[in-house]
Amino acid sequence: MHDFDLKLYLAEHKRMVDEALAESFPNPTGLEKKVLEAIRYSIFAGGKRLRPILCLAAAEVVGGSSHKVMPVACALEMIHTYSLIHDDLPAMDNDDFRRGQPTNHKVFGEAIAILAGDALVTEAFGLIARLPVKDGIDPERILQVIRLVVKAAGYRGMIGGQTIDLECENRTVSLATVEYMHVLKTGALISASLEAGAILGGGSPEQVALMTRYGHHLGLAFQITDDLLDIEGDAELMGKQPGSDAAKNKMTYPALLGVARSKEAAREHVEEALKALDSFDDKAEPLRAIARYLLGRKA
């Protein structure tokens, strides 16, 4: 299946996710409409939908239906989006632009940006809890997914990682610390996306564990290639200027390891990710292609 068309797969799945997200948010009416406008602004700001696509792909790999898993895929994108809105705030990374557009607080003000983030993380759990039990989804599996998403997004995951990132700014830290920070800050939610898809797709505990392992290595490869792009990337393709990490004294892989050894590390993590897929059949081809794609990443 070496003629697998990743570009087409990503485009089709992104479109499905975008449609489902559009249905999740009513058109803003009433006095509270400002916060819904702010939510929609950031949700539809052109994200790649990596986390929801991984969630759908994991469900397909274990023989499940991506349609049934869609609300969880949307919830993961909502959590990712909330984290970007809050990370961009003046008190955090103080970014004025994201993907070439003004950040949420530049358009709606800080107060509404904080509330839009708060609303996104809250409603994300509502979306998971509305999974149709009557469609044959075991409610205990839904609760299990809520617990693992909380772990990945809370202080044992994404928020813990962001805390470490803040604590380490302008300080020299070890490679182990940087890796731990990234595993929490971005890796945990990426792994959770795959884990949730596999659980709701009906995967066995072994299959779920392999998806989590794939997600762990994919997340690290993603972060390392992200750091490399900030040095070598093309401003136009990325929608932002390279060099912003260095300007902010962020601890990155290339800063700690150099470019050549960082590329080697990315390759190793992609290989480990692919190994985790060894026991799966052709249905794992999208996940294999996504992992390989990271090595040639341009944006």
Q: Please state, in angstroms and rounded to a whole number, the distance separating the CA atoms of residues 256 and 263.
A: 12
Handedness of CA 198, 203, 208, 210 (dihedral sign): negative
* Closest by Cα among 79, 76, 80, 85 to 108: 85
Half-sphere exposure of 194 (CA within 13 A, CB side): 26
Residues between 183 and 202 that touch a second copy (CB under 8 A): 184
Q: Is 112 in the site for a second copy (CB under 8 A)?
A: yes
**Is residue 244 a contact residue for a second copy (CB under 8 A)?**
no
Told to check if 182 binds a second copy by CB under 8 A, we report no
Binding mask 67-106 for a second copy (x = CB under 8 A): ---------------x---x--x-xx--------------
Residue 280 main-chain phi, psi, to 5 deg:
-95, 155
Which region, judged by CB under 8 A, interacts with a second copy, from 143-151, 227-235, 260-268, 269-277?
143-151
The candidate with the shortest Cα–Cα distance to 125, out of 160, 74, 67, is: 74
Q: What is the DSSP letter of 44?
A: T
CA-to-CA distance for 157 and 186, rounded, in angstroms?
8
Distance CA 230, CA 252 (A): 10
Q: Which stretch binds a second copy (CB under 8 A): 95-103, 144-152, 229-237, 271-279?
A: 144-152
Q: For the CA atoms of the chain, what is the radius of gyration?
A: 19
Contact with a second copy (CB under 8 A): which of 96, 110, 234, 281? Answer: 110
Q: How far is the CB of 44 from a second copy (least distance, A)?
A: 16
**Interface residue with a second copy, options 15, 48, 99, 130 (CB under 8 A):** 130
Yes or no: say if 85 and 119 are a contact pair by the CB < 8 Å rule.
Answer: no
Binding of residue 20 to a second copy (CB under 8 A): no
Q: Does 181 bind a second copy (CB under 8 A)?
A: yes
Interface positions with a second copy (CB under 8 A): 30-32, 34-36, 39, 82, 86, 89, 91-92, 109-112, 114-115, 117-119, 121-123, 125-126, 129-130, 133, 139-140, 142-143, 146-147, 150-151, 153-155, 159-164, 166-168, 177, 180-181, 184
